[in-house]
Chains A and B, each alone.
Chain A
Amino acid sequence: MGLAYTNFYQKILTLDRRWIFLMVLIIAVVFYKITIPMPIKVTLQTQSFYDTIEQLKTGEIVHITADYTVSVVPELYPMHKAVVRRLFEKDVKIIVSTLWTEGVPLIDRAFDEVCAELQREGKIKTYGVDYINLGYKSGSDVVMTRLGTSFAETFPADAKGTPVTQIPLMQQVKNFDNIALMINFSVGHPGIREWLQQVQRRYNVKMLCGATGIMSPDLYAFYQSGQLKGVLAGLVGAAEYEILLNRPGLANAGMTVQSFEHLGIILLIIVSNIAYFLQKPKRSKR
């Protein structure tokens, strides 16, 4: 038994996982500091996402649902911010709500940062006129279907507690008939799957989605069927969108780390598979 552990392949196969954690950390730290520009090819899903937003007209209203939490901020926040900025640049009005408790401060953060950037460029956006944060509402699917009847009855007040009857933007919205586009940033349930089930086909709403990498492969089927007009898949999706906007930002900054981490993991998979197959004859002999 002692001899077996001296074998090189055995050592690889029984490698303490903490060495792998260390490798992942070292790669992340090194390539966080050293940025190597990575070629990013824009996928069809991201291109469609971009095109759908570009087709919006001035004054139209978009409903964003920020159904994510602080744990996925690095993945979803860059795309959330990029989308809010692009919509403001196009003078599109934005209504945001969330079905996740931690979503409220993230909505405010995106608005605050984008409004400050635009203010420096001489463009002022006014709360209640150009955008509104309706805040959090519990109830998942029930909230979604209720919005189809009335936004004001589902969210009687905004996140700050101001009655929506006193907010000018909300006077223009009764239900999904007044919404030109819905954009969902999704991390799980309730999220994009529920919005598709309860709202998209029932109220015939044009829908886009920015989702975490884990969720994305499932969503491609909905893009292929036309239920989603575009999908931003994780950090790489956000990076592609930033490229299309010609404004590399938070997502592009992380792509060097992403690429080298993936390279490291692919190498580990190859090495451990080679070790496994070279070890196999000895095992069968035993």
Chain B
Amino acid sequence: MAGIIGGWLSVFFTLAIMSFLYKDNPIYKLAEHVYVGVAAGYLFVLAVVHTIKPNFWDCVAPLFTAAPGGQWVRLGAGIFGIMFLLRLHKKTSWVSSFPLAVMVGTFAALRMTGLANSDLVGQLHGTIDCLNYKGISLFEWGKPSLINNLLIIGGVISVLSYFFFSLEHRGVLKFTGKTGIYFLMITFGSSYGYTVMARVSVLIGRINDINTYNTSHYFYATIFCAIFIIAFLFISNVIQKKAKKT
């Protein structure tokens, strides 16, 4: 029974959200609000069950019950949490800047070293590796080859020169800068193609569900939900037009 109700809800909310493509309407608004509400509730429960309980409560509670396994240091996390919440009150909001500073500082340090290591050194290493021409063919589609490696090096240099603003883009710099634009455009084009693929994949997923629930086992949820939503949109359109006339 739960599966059938779940199927009906899935189809109804899918079609309700899709109805926005026709125009903004009360059914879409309902689905939107339900989605936001459910998502917020779900996240809250997950935060309690997977974060607050195991990382804080289960470690701190034994301290007050004399049971083994208590960790005083975990109280610090609780104090930080309360300091964050003090932001909600005007007079005490300044307190929240302390845990925020610690958090921003920690993440900045972690990201800086990680980014330098992976995106800078790692990528430099990868680009320099392209200069190694030993044992590779002149050209092969989609595989390391001399021409492909030269394209990578040329692409990196030209795109970097496009973003080099310390000198006026004249002469050689103008040429490399323009070449850089072409490399960027090709990159954006491929990203666009992949974006279309991603969106279509999501659509396929929804159609798959809609098709699954359009069987006698689910009492033809898709057909009934579609008829209801189309009828609702038609009636609300008629009412709106009448209201405009009057």
Question: A: which residues have CB within 8 A of B?
Answer: 18, 21, 24-25, 28-29, 32, 43-44, 71-75, 101-102, 104, 135-138, 141-142, 145, 156-157, 161, 193-194, 196-198, 200-202, 212-214, 216-218, 221-222, 224-227, 233-236, 254, 257-258, 261-262, 265
A221 lies within 8 A of B123 (CB) = yes
Contact of B194 with A by CB under 8 A? yes
Q: Is the CB of A234 within 8 A of B197?
A: yes
On whether the beta carbons of A234 and B194 are closer than 8 Å, the reply is: yes
14 chain-A/chain-B pairs, Cβ below 8 angstroms: A28-B204, A44-B142, A72-B198, A104-B46, A136-B50, A141-B107, A156-B54, A198-B110, A217-B190, A222-B123, A225-B126, A226-B126, A261-B203, A262-B197
B49 to chain A, nearest CB (A): 9
**Contacting B114 at CB < 8 Å: which of A21, A198, A225, A227?**
A198
In Å, the complex CA distance between A214 and B35 comes to 24
Which of B21, B195, B201 has the most A CB atoms < 10 Å from its CB? B201
Contact B126 A227 (CB under 8 A): yes
What is the 8 Å Cβ interface bit string for chain B, positions 92-116, against chain A (1 contact, 0 not)?
A: 0000000000000011001100110
| The 7 nearest A-B residue pairs measured at CB | A225-B126, A74-B205, A197-B114, A213-B194, A213-B198, A75-B201, A213-B197
Q: Which residue of A75, A136, A217, A233 contacts B202 across the interface (Cβ within 8 Å)?
A: A75
With A213-B195, A214-B198, A221-B123 already in contact, the answer to whether A258 and B205 are too (CB < 8 A) is no
Docked CA distance A264–B120 (Å): 39
Interfacial chain A residues near B43, Cβ < 8 Å: 101
- Residue from A24, A145, A196, A236 within 8 A of B203 (CB atoms): A24
Tell me if A's interface is mostly helix, strand, loop or mixed. helix
Given A225-B129, A262-B196, A265-B196, residue A135 in contact with residue B50 (CB < 8 A): yes
Of A138, A196, A224, A258, the contact of B204 (CB 8 Å cutoff): A258
CA–CA, A214 and B190, complex, Å: 9
A225 touches B201 (CB 8 A): no
10 new A-B pairs (CB below 8 Å) besides A32-B211, A257-B203, A261-B196?
A: A24-B203, A32-B204, A142-B110, A161-B54, A214-B191, A224-B126, A225-B125, A227-B122, A257-B204, A262-B196
B201-236 contact mask (Cβ, 8 Å, vs A): 1 or 0: 111111110010000000000000000000000000
Residue of B with least CB distance to A256? B204
| Interface class of chain B by DSSP | helix
A201 touches B117 (CB 8 A): yes
- Chain A residues contacting B201 (CB-CB under 8 Å) are 72, 74-75, 213, 234-235, 254, 258
Given A141-B107, A225-B126, is A202 in contact with B114 using a C-beta cutoff of 8 Å? yes
Instruction: List residues of chain B with CB within 8 A of the CB of A258.
Output: 197, 200-201, 204
Q: In the complex, are the beta carbons of A225 and B122 less than 8 A apart?
A: yes
Is B165 positioned at the interface, with any CB of A under 8 Å from its CB? no
A207 to B193: give the CA distance in the assembly, Å: 25
Across the interface, name the chain B residue whose C-beta is closest to A32: B207
When C-beta atoms are compared, the residue in chain B nearest to A218 turns out to be: B191
B152 at the interface (CB under 8 A from A): yes
Cα distance A37–B43 in the bound complex, in angstroms: 41
Chain A residues lying within 8 Å of B47, measured Cβ to Cβ, are 138
B202 touches A141 (CB 8 A): no
Within 8 A of A (CB), among B12-69: 21-22, 42-43, 46-47, 50-51, 54
Alpha-carbon distance between A257 and B187 when the two chains are bound, in angstroms:
24
Given known contacts A21-B21, A44-B142, A212 and B190 CB-to-CB distance under 8 angstroms: no
- Contact residues of B between 150 and 194, Cβ < 8 Å to A: 152, 187, 190-191, 193-194
Chain A residues with CB below 8 A from B197, complex form: 213, 234-236, 258, 262
Bound-complex Cα distance A104 to B191 (A): 29
Contact B123 A225 (CB under 8 A): yes
Closest CB of chain B to A156's CB: distance in Å? Answer: 6
B16 CB to nearest A CB, Å = 15
Give the one of B114, B121, B126 with max A CB within 10 A. Answer: B114
- Quick one: given A32-B207, A221-B126, A258-B204, are A197 and B111 in contact (CB under 8 Å)? yes
Report if B237 contacts A (CB, 8 A).
no
By a CB distance below 8 angstroms, the chain A residues around B191 are: 214, 217-218
Do A137 and B50 touch across chains, with their CB atoms under 8 A apart? Answer: yes
